[in-house]
Amino acid sequence: MIRRKRLAAGALALLAALTAGTAFPATAAADGTDGRPAPQVELVLDVSGSMRERDVDGGTRMAAAKQAFGEVLDATPEEVLLGIRTLGANYPGDDRVEGCEDTEQLYPVGPLDRVEAKTAVATLTPTGWTPIGPALKAAARDFREGEGTRRIVLITDGEDTCQPLDPCEVAREIAARGIGLTIDTLGLVPDARTRDQLLCIAEATGGTYTSVRHKDELADRVGQLVERAAEPTVTPVAVEGTDACVDAPVLESGLYTDRAEFGQARWYRVGLEPGQEVRAAVSVASDREVNPGYGVLLRAVTVHGREMVRGEAAGHGRTDLVSTGLRLPKEDDEEALAEVVCLEVTHSFSPAAGVKTTPGLPVELTVDVVDGPSDASDVAAFGLGRGWWLIGALVVTGFLAGLLWGWVSRWRVAVWRTN
C-alpha cells in the first residue's frame, strides 16, 4: 500500500519536473541561453612593486585597491560568480622568466564568500613584475563553463613588463574565441604608455578604460563594472559565415556573432516563407586601431544573385562600431514558394599601419523572422482624408450636388406638367 503511494508520489514529482523542465528552458533555448546563466566576473589586480607608491589620496596604491575591493566585495550582487587573480604578487626577484609567470588565482570564480575573499585580499603585499599578458591568458581559463557573461576587470598601475607577449594581442585572441568575454581596464595613476596599453586591451574586447586618481573613484568604477556584469543580456551564438551563399550557414531568429576580416565578405542564409518578413541588423565593431573612414553594407540577395534590398552605413572618425539593417517582406501569394534569402555582410574598415589583421573584426548579427506587414494601398490610413480642405471640398460638393438634384427634379416636374 505504502509502496503504491510512493510510486504515485514519484510519478507526480517526475511529472512536475518534466513539465517544468520542458516548459521553461524551451523558451530560452531558442536564443542559446539556458534559463538564467550566472554572470562571471574576475578581478585581476596588479600587486607589482610599483603599487607601493604613495600617490592615491596620500595612501599607497595598494591600500586604495584593498579598500576598493572591500567595498566592491560587500556590494557584489548575489548572482554574480566572482573570482580574484593577482599578478606580480609572489616573486620578488630579478629573473624575467620567473617574474613573468607570477600570476596566481587568489580566489576561484564561484559563489562569493565575502569574509574569505576579503581575508585573501588583505594578505597581499606589493612585490614583483607586471605580467599582464600571462595574467589575462590565465584569467580567461579561470571561468567556468556556461553561457553567462564573462567580464575581466583589470586593475593595474603600470604597463606590461613581459614583452614581447603583447597583452593587447592576448586580449584580442581571447575575444576572438567567441566566449563572450569583455575586459574592462582601470589604470591607477597611469602614465601615457600604460594608458595606451590599457586602452588597447579594453578596445580589443569591447570593454571600457578608466583612469583612476582617487580612492573612491576606484571603488565606484569597479562596483559599477561588477554590477554591469550582473545585468541580464542575451548571449550571442557563434556562427561562421562563408565566402559564398551556396554553403552559407542557415540562420533562424536570434543573435549571432562572427568575425569578418578586412575586405572579406561574409554570407549567411535565412529561410523565408510567403507572408513573412525577415529583419536583419548587423554591426561591425572596431576592436583595434583602424583608419578613420569606415562603412558597412548588408545585402539581401536571392540564391541567383539578384539583390532585393540593402542596408548601408558609413562614417568617419572615432567609433566603436558601424551598423546597419534591412527588412524584407515576402508577399503572401498563393503561388509563392518558400525562399532562401542570402545575406551578405561586408565592411570597409581598414587597419591602421602596423596593426594585425587577424582575427577579423567582430560582427554581431540579429535575425528576426516575423509575420509580414499589411501593405499600404494608399499614402493615408485607409485612404481617409483629413483637414479643412477636405471639409471645404465636401461641403462645396455637397451643396452643388443638392442644387443640381433640386434643379433636375424641378425640371422633371415641369416636363411632367407640360405633358
Partner 1 sequence: MRLTRAFGGAVLLLGLAVAPAAADASPSASGDEKDGRPTEAGTSFRSATAIDPGVGATAQGSTGDYLYWSFGADATQRPTVRASVRLPEEHAGETWQIDVYDGLRRRQACRHGAQTRTAPAGTSSVELACALRTVRGWAEPWSDDPLPGTYYIRLSAVGLPVSDVGRAVSAEVRVETADAGGAAAVDGALAEPLIPGIALRADAEEAAGDGESDDSAAPVLSGTAAEDGWSSGRWTDRWAWTAAGGVLAALTGVWGHSLTRGRGRPGA
Which member of 145, 379, 415, 419 binds partner 1 (CB under 8 A)? 379
Contact 272, 369 (CB under 8 A): yes
Nearer residue to partner 1 within complex by CB, 94 or 382: 382
Strands (E) located in 53-164: 81-87, 103-110, 150-156
Q: Site residues for partner 1, window 244-273 (CB under 8 A)?
A: 253-255
Nearer residue to partner 1 within complex by CB, 121 or 181: 181
Nearer residue to partner 1 within complex by CB, 108 or 405: 405
- Dihedral angle over CA of 250, 253, 257, 262, nearest 10: 60
Nearer residue to partner 1 within complex by CB, 217 or 258: 217
Q: Does 377 bind partner 1 (CB under 8 A)?
A: yes
Kindly indicate which of the ranges 62-70, 90-98, 115-123, 307-315 contains the residues binding partner 1, using the contact rule CB under 8 A: 307-315
From the list 233, 209, 278, 330, the residue with the least C-alpha distance to 32 is 233
Q: Does 167 bind partner 1 (CB under 8 A)?
A: no
Q: How many CB atoms within 10 Å of residue 71?
A: 17
Rounded to a whole number of angstroms, the minimum distance from the CB of residue 177 to partner 1 is 18
Pairwise CA distance, residues 258 & 266, whole Å: 9
Contact 65, 126 (CB under 8 A): no
Which member of 104, 220, 261, 339 binds partner 1 (CB under 8 A)? 220
Q: Site residues for partner 1, window 64-103 (CB under 8 A)?
A: none
- The cell numbers describing 284, all together, are 561591425
Q: Site residues for partner 1, window 96-155 (CB under 8 A)?
A: none
Which member of 63, 165, 234, 301 binds partner 1 (CB under 8 A)? 234
Pairwise CA distance, residues 320 & 17, whole Å: 45
Considering only the C-alpha atoms of the chain, give the largest distance between any 2 of them, rounded to a whole number of Å.
130
Q: Does 57 bind partner 1 (CB under 8 A)?
A: no
Pairwise CA distance, residues 344 & 392, whole Å: 52
Nearer residue to partner 1 within complex by CB, 29 or 244: 29
Rounded to a whole number of angstroms, the minimum distance from the CB of residue 41 to partner 1 is 15
From the list 261, 259, 253, the residue with the least C-alpha distance to 239 is 259
Pairwise CA distance, residues 165 & 161, whole Å: 9
Which member of 211, 291, 348, 350 binds partner 1 (CB under 8 A)? 211
Rounded to a whole number of angstroms, the minimum distance from the CB of residue 2 to partner 1 is 7
Q: How many CB atoms within 10 Å of residue 228?
A: 17
Q: What angle do CA 44, 50, 55 make, to 5 degrees?
A: 100
From the list 201, 209, 236, the residue with the least C-alpha distance to 363 is 236
Q: Does 318 bind partner 1 (CB under 8 A)?
A: yes
Which member of 67, 205, 210, 346 binds partner 1 (CB under 8 A)? 210
Please work out the total of residues on this chain that contact partner 1, with binding judged by CB under 8 A. 115
Which member of 24, 108, 263, 336 binds partner 1 (CB under 8 A)? 24
Name, in order, each residue with C-beta under 8 angstroms of 408's C-beta and a sequence gap of 6 or more. Answer: none
Kindly indicate which of the ranges 133-141, 189-197, 243-251, 264-272 contains the residues binding partner 1, using the contact rule CB under 8 A: 189-197
Rounded to a whole number of angstroms, the minimum distance from the CB of residue 406 to partner 1 is 3
Q: Does 375 bind partner 1 (CB under 8 A)?
A: yes
